[in-house]
Structure 1
Amino acid sequence: MSLRPNRPLPLATPAGVEVLTRIITEEPIPRVEIARRTGLSQAAVTKAVAPLIEAGFVTDQPTGPAEELAEGQLGIGRPVSPLTVVADSVSVIGLKVTPTDLIGVTTDFRAGIRTVRHQQLSGTTPDLVLERLTTLAEELIGALDDDAGPLIGIGVAVSGDVDAPHGVVRDSPFMGWRDVPVAELLTEKLGVPVVVSNDVRALTVAEHWFGVGVGVDSFAVVTIGSGVGCGLYVNGEVVSGANGVSGELGHLPLAPGDLVCTCGRRGCVETVASSDAILARTRETTGRADLDLSGAIDLAHAGDEHAREAFDRAGEVIGSALAAMVNLVGPELVVIAGEGVADYDLYEQRMREAFAAHAFGAAGDARLKLRSHTFDDWARGAAAIVIRSYVRGERPFQR
């Protein structure tokens, strides 16, 4: 198995990047449909596709007589040759970092998961976690079989403020990290290009390219769990922010000011709406210090007024935060995801009431969609970041 990205993409122009992006995200898709959606001429599309087919990244396979043809295609009954990505042309590794676990996956060029590995962590110091990440990556590399394409890179998803262009975790309160050069250190250890991203932004890229965001003009991914995060897709791009920070829904000051967040600030949404905050509130009001989260959920389902109050309070603040977000950005779809959606029914009503009360005008027409995610999906998001960087020729894959 080749570990280095020895399969450079034959993309010499921005048009070629746009064409391949359309194929990856909307396959199977005929050349004429790419031309229609991009505004490129069919000749330009054909010119961009030809080297990708020759190099084995893309294939066109006639599907037989088409019942419906797009305007400008050949006559009725003539075969259509849709373009698709050759999934096994490359392999990618995605790694998700949490304070207690590491989750790793291998994927193909379509971000289809092939292998999954989990490892528990005994601490969160950068040296320990990077050592364990190296071991996990080596294990995943060893799991690549002869049918897998060359490994082009490794993606790492971490919560917090991440300087993605330089691969540095500037501030991760959950991990207790500041200014950790993850990409540089892992590249030295593994000899493979490494891309580092905020975990929610990575999940949003995966939804944009391979999930619910395909074909949607604008959407937001709101994650609820140990933290509350938000990824935004507007104006044709996942928002990263001028300084690499955006969509920090969990740190809007919408909660009581006496509550201190893990980030060190007061009144953040996370101080009320995260799973840790809900558990802490339930323990406080019930006097049950022995409760775990599943116990708090069971109490709430059984009608315990103290447990219900904790979830109601969380729903109120989440709904207000969602309303603030749609008022500012105006997405057509809001995907509610993360491990916290397992108890979504306990706060959904209060959340929707608060959302309706504070969303302004037509912004409130945004569709709220529940989407369950596992930690494997977060790791897949890290792999999707690698795929996007590889296609676009971004660091560390500059062409």
Structure 2
Amino acid sequence: MRPTPRAETFPVNTPAASQVFTTVLSQGPLPRLEVARRVGLSPAAVTKAVRPLIEAGYLVEGVDEEARPALGRPANLVRVDGGRALFIGVKVTGDEIIGVLTDLCCRIRVARHLPLPGRDPRTVLAGIAELTRKLLAETNGSTAPVLGLGIAVSGDVDRAEGTVRYSPFLEWRDVPLAELAAMTTGLPVTVDNDVRALTVAEQWFGAGVGLSDFAVVTVGAGIGCGLVVHGRVDAGAHGVAGEIGHVTVDPAGPLCHCGNRGCVEAIAGEAAILRQIREATGELPDAEAALALAREGVAAARDVYARAGEAIGRGIATVANLLGPERVIISGEGLAAYDLFAEQIRDAFVAAAFGSAAQCDVRTHPLPFDEWARGAAATAIQSFIGPDTSR
């Protein structure tokens, strides 16, 4: 195992420099003039921001040989040196911990999964520490420092405090996870809601690059939503913005664990789908068997998935009506059933979206759990660069 990584701070701490760096990180390589245009700064201001980043090795500048023009002087492009630093991202689920080691550009170098024998904080912390040790030992001879650890957990998470206020799946309340994990691993730690972490990764490195307003809707054990409003991931005043899983779409519908009836999650969450199929068919399937029943043409099972699609479509329409995003990205492990409810999602969305909100670009982006851990690493990168890049 490598020794505990040394502390290192980002070489600049001005909002302008952070903006320049994140623009190059997510949209580069770019010529300086194009960076200036995209961030709305003067070329002189960009040059001032870029200089210390180049000196510290975070940015490099040179000719892109692949894009060299046939005629004329080739433009120098600024890009991030991904190998300059490493980060660890961890996603905690109900039964396992997924960890990834990424470079500064959030490219996964190593991914590891660790079974979780229990959900109490002590057991989870021990698992995070073990997984972190394994990832630190697999840096493959890189001399780049590991500069942060991001942890993604479902539920109500206060990122600023590093506290898990309430996680229904883990049955946690008021756990100071960032503080505890930092003491255990020796790394700077960022803790965030798992859907918001995934949204950060989509904003900087995925289907949301270049968009100022979009949403990520996740379908699986729960129904989550991450929001980017005016270029920032928005958690709202109380940290729970985007909870479309608890938007009521059927007041006479099934009881949700939150205490209300007819929430999107109470109809379309994995546990809700399995319960409804068991009630309708008398069988006791797991997720894989439930999918098989529906695909074999069992009408009762297909109806359950159809209702789930309608609920998801109405939830997405609520987001579109309230915020008017340019794009809604649907992701999560629940997309394994997308062929069974895609039509219902689309039809319900179009029916419930008001006016031009129906023109919102709704697309799917299936992502394995490794990508959720990558989202956690993205939050660690974000925290390292500076607080102005977070929300």
TM-score between both structures, scaled by the size of structure 2: 0.95
Q: C-alpha separation between the residues in 2 aligned to 1:79 and 1:127?
A: 56
Cα deviation, residue 148, structure 1: 4.8
Match of 1:147, SS? Answer: coil
Q: How does 1:352-367 map to 2 (within 5 A)?
A: 352-367=346-361
Q: C-alpha separation between the residues in 2 aligned to 1:393 and 1:168?
A: 17
Match of 1:99, SS? Answer: coil
Query: For residues 292-343 of structure 1, what are the alpha-carbon distances to aligned partners after superposition, in whole Å with 9 as ceiling and x for unaligned?
Result: 1111111111111110111011111111111111000111111110000111
Judge conservation of contact 1:91–1:148 (CA < 8 Å) in 2.
no
Give the match for residue 268 of structure 1.
263
Cα deviation, residue 219, structure 1: 1.1
Match of 1:195, SS? Answer: strand
Give the match for residue 248 of structure 1.
243
Give the match for residue 82 of structure 2.
87
Judge conservation of contact 1:202–1:384 (CA < 8 Å) in 2.
yes
Judge conservation of contact 1:217–1:235 (CA < 8 Å) in 2.
yes
Match of 2:192, SS? Answer: strand
Give the match for residue 110 of structure 2.
115
Distance of aligned partners of 1:331 and 1:287 in 2 relative to their CA distance in 1, 3 Å threshold: same
Give the match for residue 35 of structure 1.
36
> Is structure 2 residue 364 aligned with structure 1 residue 378?
no
Cα deviation, residue 134, structure 1: 1.3
> Is structure 2 residue 369 aligned with structure 1 residue 368?
no
Q: C-alpha separation between the residues in 2 aligned to 1:7 and 1:257?
A: 55
Give the match for residue 339 of structure 1.
333
Q: How does 1:271-282 map to 2 (within 5 A)?
A: 271-282=266-277
Give the match for residue 284 of structure 1.
279
Q: How does 1:1-399 map to 2 (within 5 A)?
A: 1=2, 3-4=4-5, 6-63=7-64, 66-67=68-69, 77-257=72-252, 259-289=254-284, 291-393=285-387
Q: C-alpha separation between the residues in 1 aligned to 2:100 and 2:47?
A: 34
Paired letter, 1:61: G
Q: C-alpha separation between the residues in 1 aligned to 2:157 and 2:13?
A: 30
The alignment-based identity, stated in percent, is: 47
Cα deviation, residue 348, structure 1: 1.1
Judge conservation of contact 2:15–2:388 (CA < 8 Å) in 1.
no
CA RMSD of superposed structures (Å):
1.8
Cα deviation, residue 256, structure 1: 4.7
Paired letter, 1:32: L
Match of 2:378, SS? Answer: helix
Match of 1:61, SS? Answer: strand
Cα deviation, residue 260, structure 1: 2.6
Cα deviation, residue 139, structure 1: 1.4
Match of 1:166, SS? Answer: coil
Distance of aligned partners of 1:320 and 1:393 in 2 relative to their CA distance in 1, 3 Å threshold: closer
Match of 2:76, SS? Answer: coil
Judge conservation of contact 2:268–2:309 (CA < 8 Å) in 1.
yes
Judge conservation of contact 1:2–1:150 (CA < 8 Å) in 2.
no
Judge conservation of contact 2:165–2:173 (CA < 8 Å) in 1.
yes
Cα deviation, residue 262, structure 1: 3.0
